[in-house]
């Protein structure tokens, strides 16, 4: 399963996994784009490709997506949390949450949690979280997670990418010995559609800037390589709780290894996604037993 798979790095990741013979589930919010990707990837690779349509800013739609997957598939071998967004102005989701936090962190947190039983039903499942080098500028301000005091688009994005790392390392600790590995990726600065949800004027400016910087940006095919490597390579079998760039393990920022921050972010994320009511204590994920098919 690959989120954000209708364009850019996500589309390349989905296509290459299908080319390797995997059954691929692409996630996107635009039904027509999803249909085109299913047809295109299926025709090109000959593999089974399906789509699940959901707006990942809506927790109700994420839950519906997970329910649909549960109804149709007994296990999940690879989950690539690739979808991300960059918002020029502060927005709120239908759940009343700041949009960057909701799409970039809470969505993969909730989706992964809801699919954990299917991941554990696989003999050796892999979770790949796509972060960014922007995480090095991030900080988690628990007193202003929703940027009510001040919204800076780059700060909000950087904070969400740091949250991806904290989530990756904490989930890896909680799943140690389960057979499920969890790793994070810095894909590099790729020419993608990130930031395309900000109106046509800003979208035009983004494209012009991207064209000016094109020689400094990598192609989506390059940006997807590390995600594909972590999803498939025998070299990283059993490797978990690590951060990769250009298919090599590299350290992330000092802030990303702060365990107390990761644990607090986990509790807060559970509360914001209503996975668990506020309890003031850390609890391990304990998914229900699933009969294998």
Task: Look up tokens 């012009």; give the residue.
Answer: 208
Q: What would the mean pLDDT of 80-84 be, rounded to a whole number?
A: 98
Angle subtended at Cα 156 by Cα 209 and Cα 212, rounded to the nearest 5 degrees? 10
Distance of CA 145 to the CA centre of its chain: 19
Q: How far is CA 162 from CA 9, 130, 133, 257, in A?
A: 19, 11, 9, 10
Give the integer Cα–Cα distance in Å for 81 and 92.
Answer: 21
Which of 31, 37, 128 lies closest to 79, judged by CA? 128
Residue 218: pLDDT band by 50, 70, 90 thresholds?
confident
| Token reading at 22 | 């995997």
Strands 248-249, 242-245: pairing is: antiparallel
pLDDT score for 200: 52
For all residues of the chain together, what is the average pLDDT? 89
Q: Is 94 left (phi over 0), alpha (psi -120 to 50) or beta?
A: alpha
Candidates 86, 151, 157, 257; catalytic one: 157
Q: How far apart are alpha carbons 74 and 285 in whole angstroms?
A: 20
Provide CB contacts within 8 A for 15, sequence distance 6+. Answer: 41, 44, 45
Active site residue 257: no
CA dist., res. 126 & res. 178, Å (int): 11
For 44-59, how does the pLDDT look when each residue is reduced to its tens digit (9 = 90+)? 999 999 999 999 999 9
Which pLDDT score, from 0 to 100, does residue 276 have?
Answer: 80
The Cα 186–Cα 69 span in angstroms is 28
pLDDT tens figures, 168-182? 999 999 999 999 999
State the pLDDT at residue 285.
44
List the domain boundaries for the chain.
2-272
Closest by Cα among 96, 133, 104 to 4 = 104
Query: For position 169, what pLDDT does the model report?
Result: 98
- Round to whole Å and give the CA distance between 250 and 87: 28
Q: Report how far residue 272's alpha carbon sits from residue 106's, in angstroms, rounded to the nearest whole number.
A: 8
The CA distance from 277 to 282, in Å, is 12
Percentage of the chain exceeding pLDDT 90:
83
Tally Cβ neighbours within 10 Å of residue 127.
27
pLDDT one-digit tens code per residue, 198-216? 555 455 444 444 454 445 5
Q: Domain 2-272 falls in which CATH fold?
A: Rossmann fold (3.40.50)
């Amino acid at each position: 399963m690959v989120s954000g798979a209708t364009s850019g790095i996500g589309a390349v990741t989905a296509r290459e996994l299908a080319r390797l013979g995997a059954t691929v589930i692409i996630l996107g919010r635009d039904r027509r784009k999803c249909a085109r990707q299913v047809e295109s990837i299926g025709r090109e690779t000959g593999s089974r490709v399906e789509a699940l349509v959901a707006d990942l800013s809506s927790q109700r739609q994420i839950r519906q997506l997970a329910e649909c997957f549960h109804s149709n598939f007994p296990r999940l071998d690879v989950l690539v949390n690739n979808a991300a967004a960059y918002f020029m102005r502060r927005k709120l989701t239908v759940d009343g949450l700041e949009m960057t936090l909701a799409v970039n962190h809470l969505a993969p947190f909730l989706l992964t949690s809801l699919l954990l039983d299917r991941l554990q039903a696989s003999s050796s499942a892999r979770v790949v979280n796509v972060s960014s080098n922007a995480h090095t500028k991030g900080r988690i301000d628990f007193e202003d997670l929703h940027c009510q005091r001040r919204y800076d688009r780059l700060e909000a994005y950087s904070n969400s990418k740091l949250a991806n790392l904290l989530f990756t390392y904490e989930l890896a600790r909680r799943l140690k010995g389960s057979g499920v590995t969890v790793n994070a990726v810095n894909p590099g600065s790729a020419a993608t559609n990130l930031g395309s949800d900000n109106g046509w004027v800003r979208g035009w400016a983004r494209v012009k800037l991207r064209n000016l910087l094109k020689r400094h940006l990598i192609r989506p095919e390059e940006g997807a390589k590390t995600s594909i490597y972590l999803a498939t390579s025998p070299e990283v079998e059993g490797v978990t709780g690590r951060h990769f760039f250009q298919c090599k393990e590299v350290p992330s920022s000092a802030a990303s290894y702060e365990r107390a921050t990761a644990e607090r972010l986990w509790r807060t994320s559970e509360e914001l996604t209503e996975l668990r009511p506020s309890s003031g204590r850390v609890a391990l994920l304990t998914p229900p037993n699933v009969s294998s098919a």
